[in-house]
Amino acid sequence: MKQLEQLLKRFFGYTAFRPLQADIIRQILQRKDALVLMPTGGGKSICFQLPAIYLPGTAIVVSPLIALMKDQVEGLIANGIPAAMLNSMMPEEERTRVRQHSMQGKIKLLYISPEGLMNELHWLLPRLDISLIAIDEAHCISHWGHDFRPEYTQLAVLKSEYPDVPMVALTATADKITRQDIVSQLNLQDPKVFISSFDRSNLSLTVRRGLNKREKLNTISAFIRRHRDQSGIIYCLSRNNTEMLAGELQDMGIRALAYHAGLTPELRNRAQESFIKDDVQVVCATVAFGMGIDKSNVRWVIHYNMPGSIENYYQEIGRAGRDGLKSDTLLFYSVGDLILLRRFAEESGQQETNLQKLETMRRYCEADICRRRILLSYFGEETDQDCGNCDVCKNPPHRFDGSQLVQKALSGMIRTNETIGMPVLIDLLRGSLREELRNKGLDRLKTFGAGRDLSYKAWKEYLYQMLQLGYMEIDYVNENKLKATELGKRVLFGEQKAQLAFYKEEADNLVPKPSGRTTKYQPIRPRQHGHVDDSLLDSLRQLRKQIAERESLPAYIVFSDDALADMVARKPVTLDQFSEIHGVGQIKLDKYGKVFVSLIRFVLKLPQMT
């Protein structure tokens, strides 16, 4: 084990294995099969990369997407590990070269697409000394999984061709049917199953509800300013919204692009590449964006609209913080989204299932208990601990007797014979002089203006709570009008009390729009103001970006955000100190040690080394 830890430091620059990694590696080194279930960012790759380095011969890694292969191969080469890939998009000469190098035993890890593997099965593979076989994204083999790939089913032949080669299947999709399907289809022999927790405790969870478009924009702009220069994704329900948002953000001087399936492949590729290379900070995207993006330093994910299910939501927020660093997620939720998503679900082929999933998602959004506990229990992992890293944990609700508010709202609804929706009800309660109200004669009702003391937003928030608590409901078949429930009527008639959670206006929404200014890349010039750590981090980022551009690599392949954060924390001013930094292995020390150390000395105003 000691030796493996040394390899981990030498090649990857990490000092310790994460939970399960060492056990999985041991299993493979004993030439036994394994099934590995770990969430995105859990550290699956090391589990087969390290044994591949340790064992003689070449490891075969099957991976479904060229972008994923490319990312991993680049990462390995950057760490001095001989790796290569074979796929149909490469020119034939290059493939020939890779085959030759593999046969000469020069490649430690060979990444192949499943169809590529079938092509090489009878010619190349028998000529290699295969150390292990890793099947990445193994859920693609299952019809039950969400990205079934027919080519994956052919991988069944591998076990019969190579019965003695250890095989490890890895996936982030945990459900039971898929799991069994993977084992039986790959014909894994008595595999040990490793399931790591699906908790992504580094992701903060926040839900904001009932914000209008302007308020959402203000909140997003304040959020992005708090995440200066940090990459993030904003998921939207519609293509139009992605473009609208990207435009608004650009106007604020934020480097943002839209991404959706309606764009040409060139535009989509360009958006993806610019994001990976940190040329744009924000991608406003439909759910089409993300699969195949292995960028480890996505620092935040915002849902501009509510997702249709917890699975989708978890997968989408899971694109943040794959490097394990603290990352933030924010979800906007509104009755408008709910109405739209209900319609989608009703028009879908599996109406019942989809409505049920939406209902679970709604309950998550409206929860007033620790959100992470809801997520984990959804994935079958119960815990009795609150997480401390969700909005509910950070701001536990303060309750008060809200019976009067419920009575006002319900009496307003009932006096209009339940013919109004939320916006008109709020105007009615607040005594708005809007023409629509006067035309309908609502200004003559007894409840008109009965709730003047509360702001529009506050009423909206309390009405959401009343919906959630079941005092009223939305009549989806009848133009989404509000209806009083039996429970609500009991409160109305004073037979029962209603507890509501006190609502406090958030400061974010009130932040004015910043003036438009684009942050363009500048030669390294440390920021003079603010804390030295900020200015150091800023300079390190600039240097990383320059190197990445020169080497045509994504910045996070040069150094992860983690590594930069460690440099800021430890301020290494000698090469020895630099070698201790998280993510600095031998190759990166040799290649980048000097420039980084001299930059750190420069920012700290220390003399340069001679």
Using CB under 5 A, list all residues that contact Zn ion: 370, 372, 386-387, 390, 393
Are 583 and 13 spatial neighbours (Cβ–Cβ below 8 Å)?
Answer: yes
Query: In the set 322, 372, 460, 541, which binds ligand ADP (CB under 6 A)?
Result: 322
Q: Which residues contact 473 (CB under 8 A, 6 or more apart)?
A: 467, 482, 483, 485
Q: Which residues contact 213 (CB under 8 A, 6 or more apart)?
A: none
Query: In the set 334, 447, 465, 560, which binds ligand ADP (CB under 6 A)?
Result: 560
Select the binding partner of residue 597 from Zn ion, ligand ADP, none (C-beta < 5 to 8 A, by kind): none
Select the binding partner of residue 63 from Zn ion, ligand ADP, none (C-beta < 5 to 8 A, by kind): none
Backbone angles phi, psi at 487, to 5 degrees: -60, -45
Q: Is 372 in the site for ligand ADP (CB under 6 A)?
A: no
**CA atoms of 357 and 560, how far apart (whole Å):** 36
Query: 371 or 582: whose CB is closer to Zn ion?
Result: 371
Supply the minimum distance, in Å, between the C-beta of residue 397 and ligand ADP. 35
Query: 393 or 487: whose CB is closer to Zn ion?
Result: 393
Are 355 and 174 spatial neighbours (Cβ–Cβ below 8 Å)?
Answer: no
Query: Which part of the chain contacts ligand ADP (CB under 6 A), choosing from 53-61, 321-329, 499-507, 547-555?
Result: 321-329
Query: 98 or 207: whose CB is closer to Zn ion?
Result: 207
Query: With 0-12 CB in 10 A as exposed, 13-18 as middle and 19+ as buried, what is 187?
Result: middle
Select the binding partner of residue 95 from Zn ion, ligand ADP, none (C-beta < 5 to 8 A, by kind): none
Are 110 and 85 spatial neighbours (Cβ–Cβ below 8 Å)?
Answer: yes
**CA atoms of 597 and 465, how far apart (whole Å):** 55
**CA atoms of 333 and 218, how far apart (whole Å):** 15
Q: Is 210 in the site for ligand ADP (CB under 6 A)?
A: no
Q: Which residues contact 236 (CB under 8 A, 6 or more apart)?
A: 242, 245, 284, 285, 286, 304, 305
SS3 helix, strand, coil % of the chain, rounded to 5?
A: 50, 15, 40
Query: 370 or 564: whose CB is closer to Zn ion?
Result: 370
CA distances from 58 to 54, 191, 274 (A): 10, 22, 33
**CA atoms of 250 and 382, how far apart (whole Å):** 43
Query: 303 or 588: whose CB is closer to Zn ion?
Result: 303
Q: What is the signed CA dihedral for 356, 232, 36, 124, rounded to 10 degrees?
A: 120
Token pair belonging to 590: 């040799």
For residue 327, which of 348, 350, 299, 304 has the smallest C-alpha distance?
299
Supply the minimum distance, in Å, between the C-beta of residue 137 and ligand ADP. 9
Select the binding partner of residue 40 from ligand ADP, Zn ion, none (C-beta < 5 to 8 A, by kind): ligand ADP
Query: 14 or 259: whose CB is closer to ligand ADP?
Result: 14
Query: 53 or 390: whose CB is closer to Zn ion?
Result: 390
Supply the minimum distance, in Å, between the C-beta of residue 231 and Zn ion. 25
Name residue 300's beta-bridge partners.
232, 328
Select the binding partner of residue 324 from ligand ADP, Zn ion, none (C-beta < 5 to 8 A, by kind): ligand ADP
Token pair belonging to 521: 């890349």
Interface with ligand ADP in residues 6-65 (CB under 6 A): 14, 17-18, 21, 38, 40-46
Supply the minimum distance, in Å, between the C-beta of residue 38 and ligand ADP. 5
Interface with ligand ADP in residues 278-317 (CB under 6 A): 296
Query: 22 or 203: whose CB is closer to Zn ion?
Result: 203
Query: 260 or 322: whose CB is closer to ligand ADP?
Result: 322
Select the binding partner of residue 166 from ligand ADP, Zn ion, none (C-beta < 5 to 8 A, by kind): none
Supply the minimum distance, in Å, between the C-beta of residue 290 and ligand ADP. 13
Question: What are the E-state strand segments in 42-107?
Answer: 58-62, 83-86
Supply the minimum distance, in Å, between the C-beta of residue 42 and ligand ADP. 4
Supply the minimum distance, in Å, between the C-beta of residue 303 and Zn ion. 18
Select the binding partner of residue 38 from Zn ion, ligand ADP, none (C-beta < 5 to 8 A, by kind): ligand ADP
Select the binding partner of residue 45 from Zn ion, ligand ADP, none (C-beta < 5 to 8 A, by kind): ligand ADP
For residue 23, which of 54, 41, 46 has the smallest C-alpha distance?
46
Query: 146 or 434: whose CB is closer to ligand ADP?
Result: 146
Query: 38 or 183: whose CB is closer to ligand ADP?
Result: 38
Are 303 and 222 spatial neighbours (Cβ–Cβ below 8 Å)?
Answer: no
Select the binding partner of residue 393 from ligand ADP, Zn ion, none (C-beta < 5 to 8 A, by kind): Zn ion
CA distances from 26 to 16, 30, 179, 193 (A): 15, 6, 21, 13
Q: Secondary structure of 110-160 in the HEC alphabet?
A: EEECHHHHHHHCCCCHHHCCEEEEEECCHHHHCCCCCCCCHHHHHHHHHHH
CA distances from 22 to 1, 148, 194 (A): 8, 30, 11
Supply the minimum distance, in Å, between the C-beta of residue 337 and ligand ADP. 29
Supply the minimum distance, in Å, between the C-beta of residue 560 and ligand ADP. 5
**Size of interface with ligand ADP, in residues (CB under 6 A):** 17
Backbone angles phi, psi at 344, to 5 degrees: -55, -45
Q: Is 541 in the site for ligand ADP (CB under 6 A)?
A: no
Supply the minimum distance, in Å, between the C-beta of residue 21 and Zn ion. 27
Select the binding partner of residue 309 from ligand ADP, Zn ion, none (C-beta < 5 to 8 A, by kind): none
Supply the minimum distance, in Å, between the C-beta of residue 244 and ligand ADP. 32
Query: 395 or 499: whose CB is closer to Zn ion?
Result: 395
Task: Kindly list the residues in this chain that would bind ligand ADP in the complex (CB under 6 A).
Answer: 14, 17-18, 21, 38, 40-46, 296, 322-324, 560
